[in-house]
Amino acid sequence: MDTFLTLKQLQELLRQNNIFPRKELGQNFLIDRNIRDKILSFAEITKDDICMEIGPGLGALTGSLVEKAGFVYAVEKDKKIADILKKRFAGISSIRIEEKDFLELDWDSLGFKNKIKIIGNLPYYIASPILFELLKFRQYWKMAVVMIPEDVATRIVAKSGEKNFGLLSVVFALLTSCSVCHRIPGSVFYPETEIKSVAMKILPESKIKIQVKNHKILWSFLPGLFIQRRKNILNVLNKSFRIDKKTALSILEKLQIEPTLRSHQLKLDEVVKIAEQMAKIKEIEKCNLTSSEKKVK
Ligand code: SAM
């Protein structure tokens, strides 16, 4: 079942339903069938696959997904759009359309037996939060093929020493292997957008590249390392983690890290080591605080 709409058909459907694409929900609908086919080809979908589509919109990718996959679970936030999509797929049992904010999805209760594939032309305003959410729940999926803004992709694939190397680069490098498969101009969307996109394929990494003792530590301490990008790492530890400069300096010396480096110049293993040290110090501070609280009582 091909639910792809040409520009004319899409505009007509929007008009009939009195819908104006909502910028605040990142509604730029794909109107190029060749791009649709290309993107889906990267996901190598078979009838054995369960696919989750994030933001199906009016179904540019969805119909083809239903044809290829065993089951499709589509999550769309906009009620009006979700209602139209439900009508378009009425009577088809291999798809479930959920009117929901993807960021509020309760992954643990989804109950799919096998790991799923993630597909989506992501709403650009929340592309990064969606990607972080996917990483958090990476035990549930085996591949993601997503269209994202080019600048987000650049930050994901940036290497240590490049100016875009930051939080996204570190977590993706540690937890996934990913590649840019295709570049997509803004002219293949309605409304057209200035933003260039790429299709990116992401595979959760099964091999551990760098030993991370506790992944929770990464989520709690990495952001602080990359907030103050203009400051050197000594000042970052001082400002972001409220560690006095003398202690910060001795930590960096112990880890053999040059204190004048900026965060983006750190190597991946150095980032992890610093995050782990910060976690250790904060844990000690917490213990000291509770024991002195006990003394006061
Ligand atoms: N997949 C369709 C296409 O390619 O034409 C639509 C893509 S459009 C870029 C993004 C879609 O995500 C829109 O339909 C929008 O309503 C939906 N959306 C926006 N925020 C969302 C969220 N938090 N959760 C789920 N869907 C969302």
Separation of 54 CA from ligand 1 center, angstroms?
7
With a cut of 60, say whether residue 222 has pLDDT above it: yes
Separation of 25 CA from ligand 1 center, angstroms?
7
Full-model pTM: 0.92
Separation of 280 CA from ligand 1 center, angstroms?
41
CA-closest candidate to residue 175, choices 262, 240, 272, 276: 272
Region 172-186 average pLDDT: 95
Protein residue closest via CA to atom 1 of ligand 1:
56
103 φ/ψ angles, rounded to the nearest 5 degrees: -70, -10
Separation of 28 CA from ligand 1 center, angstroms?
8
Is the Cβ–Cβ distance between 133 and 202 less than 8 Å?
no
CA distances from 136 to 103, 147, 225 (A): 11, 19, 19
More confident residue, 265 or 211: 265
Give Cβ neighbours of residue 111 (< 8 Å, ≥ 6 apart): none
Cβ of 197 below 6 Å from ligand 1: no
Cβ of 32 below 6 Å from ligand 1: no
Share of the chain above pLDDT 70, in %: 96
Cβ of 102 below 6 Å from ligand 1: yes
Question: Which range is least confidently modeled, 13-17, 109-113, 210-214?
Answer: 210-214
Separation of 30 CA from ligand 1 center, angstroms?
11
With a cut of 80, say whether residue 292 has pLDDT above it: no
Query: Ligand 1, from 6, 17, 27: best to mutate by most atoms within 8 Å of Cβ?
Result: 27
Domains detected in the chain: 7-204 (3.40.50.150), 215-296 (1.10.8.100)
Query: Ligand 1, from 54, 81, 106, 125: best to mutate by most atoms within 8 Å of Cβ?
Result: 54
Is the Cβ–Cβ distance between 76 and 56 less than 8 Å?
yes
Q: How confident is the model at residue 73 (pLDDT cuts 50, 70, 90)?
A: very high
Question: Which range is least confidently modeled, 16-25, 79-88, 149-158, 279-288?
Answer: 279-288
CA-closest candidate to residue 179, choices 160, 140, 205, 161: 205
Cβ of 30 below 6 Å from ligand 1: yes
Helix (H) or strand (E) segment spanning residue 148:
strand 141-149
Phi-psi region of 274 (alpha: psi -120 to 50; beta: other; left: phi over 0): alpha
Distance CA 261, CA 271 (A): 12
Question: Which range is least confidently modeled, 37-46, 81-90, 149-158, 276-285?
Answer: 276-285
Distance CA 236, CA 229 (A): 8
CA-closest candidate to residue 102, choices 134, 66, 147: 134
Is the Cβ–Cβ distance between 282 and 214 less than 8 Å?
no
Protein residue closest via CA to atom 6 of ligand 1:
57
